[in-house]
Amino acid sequence: MVPRGLDLSARLSSVLEVVYLIFNEGYSATVGEELTRISLCEEALRLGRIVAELEPRQPEVHGLVALMEIQASRSRARVSSTGEPILLMDQDRALWDQLLIRRGLDALDRANALTPARRPYRLQAEIAACHARAINAAETDWGRIVSLYVELAAIAPSPVVGLNRAVAVSRHAGPLPALELLEPLREDPLMKSYHLLPSVRGDLLSRLGRHAEARAEFELAAGMTQNTRERQLLIDRRASARRRRTKHPSETVRLRRLAA
């Protein structure tokens, strides 16, 4: 029997959280030899679609399904033929699955039609949709993405949201204001072992021409991750920073998007 009222709200929140955790582990595997575990993404999508059929009047269900559909659309473009990670700004968008994108945008439309009040999954889906709608990386509406992260931080604050917001700010306003946003996160206990914080700092420092500091951050990040592919990517980026000469701070570099 499907629960109702307050019981439904409490149980549904837990169900959606578990589904999202499954998807995230498939999208970016925390341990192992491969970057992704596609079977987990597919299982999370299957479960999400079932929940959406059972509870079609719940906007956050559609928001989560939209987020997963759009994120999953990038799967073929996120790794090379030999399994190396390909960062978002370098991906061949012709490989993005347009069927999954359409399904995701349709789910987002269903969520928006139910209520104007946006909750965390729907806001993350809106962010993913900004990338999906851009015909190429240069056309990404980073200003809108920044505003969506501000809205997300207001209702679901977390250091990971703060990190993602800084990445968006770096694309919209440059690396220096983004680097400043990261400073409080360095003292957050939840981020002490989170490898993406030094990874992002390495990107920003590299863009500012502070290559020695960038190398140290990439080395720190490589020592934190338990995923073999991510570790090698960070080692390669450290080596690249060693070779790179100082360039203008506005130089475009590759920033990894977090599943977000």
- CA atoms lying within 13 Å on the CB side of residue 1: 3
Tell me the residue range of the domain where 129 lies: 15-135
Q: Are strands 31-32 and 226-227 parallel, antiparallel or unpaired?
A: parallel
The per-residue pLDDT for 255 is 35
Q: Is residue 91 part of a domain?
A: yes
Residue 222 CA to residue 37 CA, distance in Å, equals 20
- Please report where in the chains the tokens 């997300």 appear, as a residue: 152
The per-residue pLDDT for 4 is 57
Residues of the chain with pLDDT under 50: 246-260
* DSSP assignment string, the chain: ----HHHHHHHHHHHHHHHHHHHHHHHS-SEESSS--HHHHHHHHHHHHHHHHH-TT-HHHHHHHHHHHHHHTTGGGSB-TTS-B--GGG--GGGS-HHHHHHHHHHHHHHHHH-S---HHHHHHHHHHHHHH-SSGGG--HHHHHHHHHHHHHHS--HHHHHHHHHHHHHHH-HHHHHHHHGGGGG-GGGTT-THHHHHHHHHHHHTT-HHHHHHHHHHHHHH-EEHHHHHHHHHHHHHHHHPPP--TT-----PPP--
**CB of 100 within 8 A of CB of 66?**
no
- Could you report the per-residue pLDDT of 67-93, keeping only the tens digit for each? 999 999 999 999 999 999 999 999 999
Q: Is residue 140 part of a domain?
A: no
Q: Is residue 112 part of a domain?
A: yes
Q: Is residue 203 part of a domain?
A: no
**CB of 142 within 8 A of CB of 171?**
yes
Count the domains in the chain. 1
Q: Is residue 71 part of a domain?
A: yes
Q: Is residue 165 part of a domain?
A: no
The per-residue pLDDT for 241 is 86
Residue 77 CA to residue 70 CA, distance in Å, equals 13
Q: Is residue 55 part of a domain?
A: yes
The per-residue pLDDT for 1 is 52
Structure tokens at 157: 């604050």
Q: Is residue 120 part of a domain?
A: yes
The per-residue pLDDT for 176 is 98
The per-residue pLDDT for 32 is 92
